[in-house]
Structure 1
């Protein structure tokens, strides 16, 4: 493992590593429609950065007769089927993952999404994305710090020696509360300025040299 900062990188999933937000949006609309409901852009924004269960719960609260677990499973199946066999990595991500692998810097996925979906992404970069922390693995999901603290523990790296990469406010709050510097990539909703938040204009700007230029929280 490289002993320079950062010693590990923890990535959010949707909108950060992969472009699956459109697939989730379609899945929510299809599943809602199957219950004779509609799913709007406002619903997308209201659940952005939350868990898949949050979206499923919304559908249940509007009268769907099935359980949150069943609707969650259906949403995940739609997304996995839509992404097919090719992981829809965002621009620049595969290059960064190769740099991390070559440098011996471990990485993990820390997400409010489901393990089944994140596992497909991890399989696209098995040499570096060695661990997944999903909604299934924690008691308190983002914005609580537990997911990022769990990711750091799995990689056996102190939280302050990790960099997190995020695109939503709940995820940024989670990583900052865990004691990490956070790189904020563009997302569907703006993330407010704040301590230990470093903003980039594009995903391609996040290179290993850029990450090494950062400093751990004081």
Structure 2
């Protein structure tokens, strides 16, 4: 029997809103600038990992992993972020994925805590644009951690700041690295996406509109 539920901790990209397309377009623009062809298929490999790790993967893809100094790589990552910030200026509450608002309302109605665990350095700006920042008790982004997903640090940090035990938390993720992070933190994992990709999750929903507070709680209590 699990501990009574105290908190839900959400990933941002692909769970609350789909900024994946904006990240893809920003990386594609950067890759083009340095002579690398970057496709949507390539972009799948970047899900849930940090900006610098993503850059390393793209450079390796183009056989340019040894072409840039550490400082130059940091400049490239900053340039990608500039592209991304320009693109996300158009985000509004209409960009919240289906089913997320009702789920958040149910969580708040039951007096549970809400945390965000996103490796995006722009998480706070995106949450403000979505009109959701004030609904969350804690927002943990890349600035607050040393290790990105799949390391459990981001979910452990969110639980610590929420002042709850990890066994009393439910984490929501759309990436395999994120699910690994949740499970590494000894939390109950809800996956959004493909069952094959998210097979380590305790329960998987193919899309956000199918998320059910009652069903998630039943699964959690039965775990």
What is the TM-score when the length of structure 1 is the normalising length? Answer: 0.85
CA separation of 1:60 and 1:217: change in aligned 2, threshold 3 A = farther
Question: Which residues in structure 2 correspond to 1:47-86 (within 5 Å)?
Answer: 47-59=46-58, 62=64, 63=67, 67-83=72-88, 84-86=90-92
1:105 aligns with 2:112: yes
Aligned partner of 1:162 in structure 2 is: 169
Gap regions ≥5 residues in structure 2:
none
8 A Cα contact 2:166 2:185, kept in partner: yes
Gap regions ≥5 residues in structure 1:
none
8 A Cα contact 1:135 1:141, kept in partner: yes
8 A Cα contact 1:181 1:217, kept in partner: no
SS in 2 for 1:108: strand
2:208 aligns with one of 186, 203, 211: 203
Q: What per-residue deviation string (whole Å, max 9, x for no partner) do you get for residues 155-210 of structure 1?
A: 111101010001111110110111111111116x942524x621113211223223
SS in 1 for 2:149: coil
SS in 2 for 1:214: helix
8 A Cα contact 1:100 1:128, kept in partner: no
CA distance in 1, matches of 2:221, 2:77: 37
Q: How big is the alpha-carbon RMSD for the aligned residues of Structure 1 and Structure 2? A: 2.4
SS in 2 for 1:57: helix
What is the TM-score when the length of structure 2 is the normalising length? Answer: 0.83
CA distance in 1, matches of 2:22, 2:196: 21
Aligned partner of 1:172 in structure 2 is: 179
CA distance in 2, matches of 1:86, 1:43: 27
CA distance in 2, matches of 1:177, 1:217: 20
CA separation of 1:31 and 1:103: change in aligned 2, threshold 3 A = same
Question: Which residues in structure 2 correspond to 1:104-183 (within 5 Å)?
Answer: 104-114=111-121, 117-123=122-128, 124-183=131-190
8 A Cα contact 1:159 1:178, kept in partner: yes
Q: What per-residue deviation string (whole Å, max 9, x for no partner) do you get for residues 13-68 of structure 1?
A: 11111111111111101111122322123431222221122122345562457633
